[in-house]
């Protein structure tokens, strides 16, 4: 099934804290970020076999994302989102990933600012 559509695994509302931003106060104190990730992979084999070894280990991906984000110190939300995508694509079963990173309170009068990116295996 070469032209088969890819399936999705969603990791929603991963609430973490990290250094993010360009202003002095943003560089001193960790801030909240809300992360949503859509992993795209062919899940037909695990759907057929019901075997954990045949599927994407989304718990491990979540742990890797948490570790990277909590240790990070980026200036731009765009860079944080790109780095999260890179971590996800380390698993070769994941063909594409969509990452949304929201930074609540980044703009006055707005609930949040959010960056959304999509990346794929090369």
* Active site positions, annotated: 103
61 burial via Cβ count (<10 Å: 0-12, 13-18, 19+) = buried
> Phi-psi region for residue 13, left (φ > 0), alpha (ψ -120 to 50) or beta?
left
Closest by CA to 10, choosing from 31, 41, 32, is 41
């Amino acid at each position: 099934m070469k032209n088969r559509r890819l399936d999705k695994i969603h990791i929603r509302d991963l609430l973490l804290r990290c250094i993010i931003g360009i202003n002095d106060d943003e560089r001193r104190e960790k801030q909240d970020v809300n992360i949503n990730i859509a992993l795209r992979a062919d899940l037909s084999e695990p759907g057929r076999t019901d075997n954990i070894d045949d599927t994407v280990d989304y718990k491990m991906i979540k742990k890797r994302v948490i570790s990277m984000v909590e240790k990070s110190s980026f200036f731009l939300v765009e860079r944080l989102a790109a780095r999260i995508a890179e971590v996800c694509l380390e698993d070769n079963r994941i063909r594409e990933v969509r990452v949304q990173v929201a930074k609540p309170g980044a703009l006055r009068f707005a609930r949040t600012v959010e960056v959304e990116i999509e990346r794929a295996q090369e």
